[in-house]
Amino acid sequence: MNAPRNYLLDPIKVEIPAAAWKPSGHLDDQRARLLATLEINGQHFHAEAYQVRTSKDGVQTIADPNFDPEWQGICALQNDGGAFTTQRIKGREYVIVVSPFLD
């Protein structure tokens, strides 16, 4: 897990228990992607956890190449080129992305 960053606003703390994450990866490694659902102010959100690997020089790559298109989209949102912060879930490192459900 990376060091905390300086935030402009105080973060609202949300804990997603390990048991809430459901495997949704491909058959060869279903834990390469995990899903959970959040409800914030009455609106539902997808929480997606993508397993990543980090090289010795700090470069992150997606653990399962089947999710490379999603990973490229996630990386396109990043503007500083650095590594994403990660969460350890059941012994693996994940980048978590939260997005609203579509109407």
In this prediction, residue 42 carries a pLDDT of 94
Alpha carbons within 13 angstroms on the beta-carbon side of residue 30 total 5
In this prediction, residue 4 carries a pLDDT of 56
CA dihedral 89, 75, 45, 85 (to 10 degrees): 40
Say how far apart CA 68 and CA 82 lie, in whole Å: 18
In this prediction, residue 82 carries a pLDDT of 78
Per-block average pLDDT, block size 10, for the chain (103 residues)? Answer: 65 92 94 96 96 92 95 85 89 96 86
In this prediction, residue 10 carries a pLDDT of 87
pTM over cut 0.85: yes
Domain 18-100, classified CATH 3.30.200, yes or no: yes
In 3D space, the residue among 29, 22, 62 whose CA is nearest the CA of residue 46 turns out to be 22
Say how far apart CA 51 and CA 63 lie, in whole Å: 6
In this prediction, residue 58 carries a pLDDT of 84
What are the structural domain ranges in the chain? 18-100
In this prediction, residue 33 carries a pLDDT of 98
